[in-house]
Amino acid sequence: MNIKILDNAVLFPAQPDDKVFTLSANTILNVFKGGSPVSSESLKRIQENFEERQYIKIRGFERILFGTGVALQTPIGQHVLLNALDNISVRKGLIMTSVPGIINSQYREEIGLLLCNTNQYLATIEKGEEICNGILITPEEIFLQEVDELMKKH
């Protein structure tokens, strides 16, 4: 798998077999309140504060798209499966949307991770904090066959 590191990001190998790695919050790509992204002026201020303070507090029901600083290219026929870490979901009340997520061999952009605060309390994410695992997988080949009726349960 080819990996490109952007903006001095850090990639954490999680297993010695090089099939599992951990992605972290490197930058803020966008912030959403309600159904819309914040204004470009607000976004710029939030991004600058994140760089200066090295953390952000996510308000209740707010969503933030974090850039991981990692772009990758998987071999043809392999994918990366993204799973949120327990420290994000269980301890902080944050969910990572589109999880589990799949990145296929055609994707070449920076991996972005969208976190949503599911409760009314503030949740803190530090710059460089580990958010999710990426696992290199090879899906099984399947054969689809159309039938008139499905087999009954035994």
How many Cα atoms occupy the beta-carbon half-sphere of 143 within 13 Å? 2
Output the six-digit token pair for 8: 């001095």
Residue 88 has pLDDT above 80, yes or no: yes
* Residues in contact with 138: Cβ distance below 8 Å, sequence separation at least 6, in sequence order: 77, 78, 79
Place of tokens 């009726």: 149
DSSP SS3 for 89: helix
For residues 12 and 22, is the Cβ–Cβ distance under 8 A? Answer: yes
d(CA 11, CA 8): 10
Per-residue model confidence (pLDDT) at position 16: 57
Output the six-digit token pair for 126: 């530090």
Residue 32 has pLDDT above 90, yes or no: yes
Per CATH, is 2-137 categorized as 1.10.10.10? no
DSSP SS3 for 46: helix
Any bridge partners for residue 95, and if so which?
116
Task: Look up residue 21 and give its amino acid.
Answer: F
Mean pLDDT of 27-36: 92
The percentage of the chain sitting over the pLDDT mark of 90, rounded to a whole number, equals: 52
Q: How many CB atoms lie within 10 A of CB 12?
A: 12
pTM of the prediction? 0.86
